[in-house]
Structure 1
Amino acid sequence: MTFNATTHTDTSLPVIPLGEIVPWAVFVGLLLMLALYFVGAEQGATSMFSGMYVHEFVHDGRHLLGFPCH
């Protein structure tokens, strides 16, 4: 009984064109900037929503990231 231990495996990495990455990178960047706004600046004069609901929702995240809020 003979076993053939030589198998060919393709270990090359897939190539992703830059044109496919750019729209996703822009989309994720905009989402991150929106999240940063809500965590860091959604309060007082720059507030988009009335009341303190958004501020209270992200309150612990503000302290974790070092944003002063009171």
Structure 2
Amino acid sequence: MPKAQPVRPLSTPAISARLLWTAFAVVSLMLLLTYLVAFDQGAVSRSGMFLHELMHDGRHLLGVPCH
């Protein structure tokens, strides 16, 4: 009966660098969007009332208190 050979690990990593950077970019954008909608209160969105009202409605949609 032949001896069992040890199993060699795969040479490819489980998570690629491209996937890691893509996930980092997506999470960063989502955190920025969450800040703008939930906590900004108009400090960044001074470009007009439309953007301010859009963020205000987004706060109501997410259930974040704003009044």
| Structure 1 runs, 4 residues or longer, greater than 4 Å off | none
Cα-to-partner distance string for 1:13-37 (whole Å, 9 max, x where unaligned)? xxx9512210000000010001001
TM norm structure 1: 0.59
> Which of 61, 64, 67 is equivalent to 2:61?
64
TM norm structure 2: 0.61
Structure 1 unaligned residues grouped into runs of 5+? 1-15
- Show the 5 A alignment for 1:15-34: 17-18=14-15, 19-34=17-32
Q: Is the 8 A contact 1:62 1:69 kept in 2?
A: yes
- Show the 5 A alignment for 1:4-43: 17-18=14-15, 19-43=17-41
Structure 2 unaligned residues grouped into runs of 5+? 1-12
- Number of equivalent positions: 54
C-alpha distance in 1, partners of 2:32/2:20? 18
